Amino acid sequence: METLHHLITHYGYFGIFALLMFGIVGIPVPDETLLALSGFLVYSGELHLIPTFIAAYLGSITGISISYAIGSAFGHHILIKYGHYIRITEAHLQKAHNWFERIGRWALFIGYFIPGVRHVVAIFAGTSELELWEFALFAYTGGFIWTTVFISVGYFFGRRWKYVLNLVGHNIIFISIAALIILIVFYIIKKRIETILGLRIHNVRNKL
């Protein structure tokens, strides 16, 4: 905690940007703690809200974009060449791509809230050849909400931010899983309705 405080105090907004960027890529940085601490420093008057948020958001989306680029540039080639050693075939990669096409994109959105998952999901998105615009839509939106939530913890709860952060941390995985299940169910219902309507329209046209 003291180290993070020192780095932010010394390097300012650039420190927030750099720490979050490297943290998202995979360097061991306590990202949520960093965001909440930044929010608290805004609360205490050591930082300003808008520059803090911009630095944090840009750091998060830069980091996840680097992870996506790594997966896009190297992941597919490496898995095609060496994947058979761990029983990964080109058919598996195609299946992963199809999964992202259906619901996997939401993992980019929710994955932000699960430590240790953020950069892996982004690399896998790049490996599965998810379109850049789709990656950006889900990942950058997730990054915006994630950044807002944890900066708000420090800003609105002030000196109680550690307690609240700990409370959120203990439940965030369950919340994220529940949200993902809801999204999957919603998607299945939506596709089912579309299929039923499509069949009815087809039958009506045949009768005409």
Statement: residue 73 has pLDDT above 90 = no
Q: Which of 67, 65, 45, 69 is nearest to 57 (CA)?
A: 65
Q: Bigger pLDDT: 29 or 176? A: 29
pLDDT band, residue 15 (cuts 50/70/90): very high
- Please give the average per-residue pLDDT across 53-57, as a whole number: 96
Q: How many angstroms separate the CA atoms of 141 and 135, rounded?
A: 10
Q: How many domains does the chain have?
A: 1
Rounded to whole angstroms, the Cα distance separating 70 from 126 reads 7
Top-confidence residue, 37 or 96:
37
Distances 161 to 24, 37, 60, 130, 184 between C-alpha atoms, Å: 22, 8, 21, 37, 33
Which parts of 26-160 fold into alpha helices (H)? 31-43, 49-70, 76-82, 90-99, 105-111, 118-127, 132-157
Q: Are 111 and 118 in contact (CB under 8 A)?
A: yes
Residue 97 CA to residue 114 CA, distance in Å, equals 22
Arithmetic mean of pLDDT over the chain: 77
Query: CA 206, CA 201: separation in Å to the nearest integer?
Result: 9
| pLDDT tier, 188 (very low <50, low <70, confident <90, very high otherwise) | confident
CA distances from 45 to 38, 42, 157, 194 (A): 11, 5, 14, 53
Please choose, from the candidates 66, 150, 29, 148, the residue with its C-alpha nearest in 3D space to the C-alpha of residue 15.
29
pLDDT above 90 covers a percentage of the chain that reads 21
Q: Which residues contact 14 (CB under 8 A, 6 or more apart)?
A: 55
What confidence tens digit (pLDDT) does each residue in 101-116 have?
A: 666 777 788 778 776 6
User: Which residue in this structure is represented by tokens 């058979």?
Assistant: 84
Instruction: Using pLDDT thresholds of 50, 70 and 90, give the confidence band for residue 56.
Output: very high
Verdict on whether the full-model pTM lies above 0.75: no
From the list 55, 10, 53, 14, the residue with the least C-alpha distance to 154 is 53
How far is the C-alpha of 91 from the C-alpha of 79, rounded, in Å?
11
Q: Note down the domain range covering 99.
A: 2-207
The pLDDT tens digits of the residues spanning 114-134 come to 766 777 788 888 887 788 888
- Find tokens 């060496």 and name the residue: 82
